[in-house]
């Protein structure tokens, strides 16, 4: 399974900003345009985008996990397609799917595949069709921490489960110390933060805890936080901001939100060595995913308990949710133009730069074929 690999560089823009609507107006369907950065390679990539006859406004919302990827994609798309205005609001996966099934948006971003009841609801807005999952963005869910005097930290699923269920409440707890014999753990209260909004990141994080530590995590996985105690914040950017400014904090968010300087936990698995949260290590997990969706739906099944060396267990995939048939005629050209670009070699190539993992070749090839057939 071949994945496009590029050297990661931090994309800090928007990482700690409060999530809000992103609205960019594109320019120049036949021109590479000037992105304002003087980056000729960026202009070249923008020149490869096929805008077709796309025009008008395109409303989309959902996953905040992919916001930094959307930012990077938007920069290129805006340099290629004038007469298109795309608004992506990172409201969270749950809110994004709701907005889509209510006919408010052309597509949604979700870090969890559609549930049967959501597919049923989508049939009201997808004329003679239904919503489908298109896997587009991958990457690790980093567990960020802010513990004075501690630069490296290893935790396992059981310890994480107890921390986020308020059963381990101090940083010098014996369970943490056992996993970190060389660390000088302070006598400091743990400040665990979780998402206040419905989130696919929360869904994947709790799926990991349930799969890898069933004896310590009694809650069913889901987009809404169910465990006791802790504090909350909205969006991945909100959690990252809390970790940055709160001594003793720990939380979970996509790796790109940690690249402003937040330290991340190494996860102990069945492998001999703890696994770091990196794009490369997330790639191993995504590469082992299975397509479990039917028809044109491409929902994936991830392994949250890998034993292979270097396979990071806390990995998510963000899907773009769209109608297979019955998309609104006025927004279909713009929807296909944007989705075609982000699924293209150039679009996927930007992901590693932004702290995400591109989709495996065989998966993204099927995604491209599906996009071409949207109607």
Cα dihedral 227/231/232/238 (nearest 10): -140
- Give residue 196's pLDDT: 95
Q: If we measure between CA atoms, which residue out of 130, 16, 115, 9 comes closest to residue 64?
A: 16
The model's pLDDT over 166-223, given as tens digits with 9 standing for 90+, comes to 999 999 999 999 999 999 999 999 999 999 998 999 999 999 999 999 999 999 999 9
Alpha-carbon distance of 362 to 262, in angstroms, equals 34
Handedness of CA 289, 204, 313, 69 (dihedral sign): positive
Cα torsion angle, 156, 237, 232, 173, sign: positive
Backbone angles phi, psi at 152, to 5 degrees: -135, 140
Q: Determine phi and psi for 322, rounding to 5 degrees.
A: -150, 160
- Among candidate residues 57, 53, 54, 35, the one with its CA nearest the CA of residue 44: 35
**Cα–chain center distance at 218:** 25
Handedness of CA 334, 337, 338, 339 (dihedral sign): positive
Provide the CA 125 distance to its chain's centre, in angstroms.
Answer: 25
Paired sense of beta strands 56-62 and 84-89, if any: parallel
Average pLDDT over residues 143-157: 98
The arithmetic mean of pLDDT across residues 240-251, rounded, is: 98
Of the candidates 99, 299, 96, 321, which has an alpha carbon nearest to the alpha carbon of residue 197? 96
Q: Global pTM?
A: 0.76
In the block, residue with structure tokens 């190494």: 266
DSSP three-state, residue 130? coil
**Mean pLDDT across the chain:** 87
Instruction: Judge contact between 134 and 317, C-beta under 8 A.
Output: no
Asked whether residue 7 carries a pLDDT value surpassing 60, the answer given is: no
Could you write out the DSSP letters of every residue in 246-309? STTEEEEEEGGGGTTT-EEPEEE-SSSS-B---HHHHHHHHHT-EE---TT---EE--SS--ST
Left, alpha or beta for 75 (phi > 0: left; psi -120 to 50: alpha)? alpha
- pLDDT in the model for residue 329: 94
């Amino acid at each position: 399974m071949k994945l496009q690999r590029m050297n990661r560089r931090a994309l800090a823009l928007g990482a700690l900003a409060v999530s809000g609507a992103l609205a960019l107006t594109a320019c120049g369907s036949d021109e590479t345009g000037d992105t304002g950065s003087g980056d000729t390679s960026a202009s070249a990539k923008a020149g490869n985008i096929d805008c077709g006859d796309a025009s008008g406004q395109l409303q989309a919302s959902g996953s905040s996990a992919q916001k930094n990827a959307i930012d990077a994609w938007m920069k290129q798309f805006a340099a290629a397609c004038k007469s298109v205005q795309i608004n992506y609001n990172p409201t969270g996966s749950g809110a994004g799917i709701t907005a889509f099934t209510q006919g408010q948006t052309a597509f949604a971003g979700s870090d969890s595949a559609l549930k049967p009841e959501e597919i049923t609801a989508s049939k009201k807005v997808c004329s003679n069709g239904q919503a489908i999952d298109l896997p587009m963005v991958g990457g690790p869910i980093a567990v960020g921490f802010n513990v004075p005097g501690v630069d490296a930290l290893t935790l396992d699923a059981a310890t994480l489960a107890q921390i986020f269920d308020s059963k381990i409440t101090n940083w010098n707890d014996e369970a943490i110390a056992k996993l970190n014999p060389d660390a000088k753990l302070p006598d400091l209260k743990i400040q665990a933060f979780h998402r206040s909004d419905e989130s696919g990141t929360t869904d994947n994080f709790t799926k990991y805890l349930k799969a890898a530590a069933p004896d310590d995590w009694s809650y069913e996985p889901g987009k809404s936080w169910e465990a006791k105690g802790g504090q909350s914040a909205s969006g991945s950017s909100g959690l990252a901001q809390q970790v940055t400014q709160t001594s003793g904090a720990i939380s979970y968010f996509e790796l790109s939100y940690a690249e402003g300087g937040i330290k991340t936990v190494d996860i102990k698995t069945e492998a001999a060595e703890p696994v770091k949260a990196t794009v490369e290590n997330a790639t191993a997990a995504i590469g082992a995913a299975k397509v479990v969706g039917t028809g044109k739906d491409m929902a994936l099944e991830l392994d949250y308990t890998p034993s292979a060396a270097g396979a990071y267990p806390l990995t998510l995939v963000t899907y773009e949710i769209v109608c297979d048939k019955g998309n609104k005629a006025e927004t279909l050209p713009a929807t296909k133009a944007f989705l075609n670009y982000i699924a293209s070699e150039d679009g996927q190539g930007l992901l590693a730069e932004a702290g995400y993992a591109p989709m495996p070749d065989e998966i993204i090839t099927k995604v491209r074929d599906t996009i071409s057939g949207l109607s």
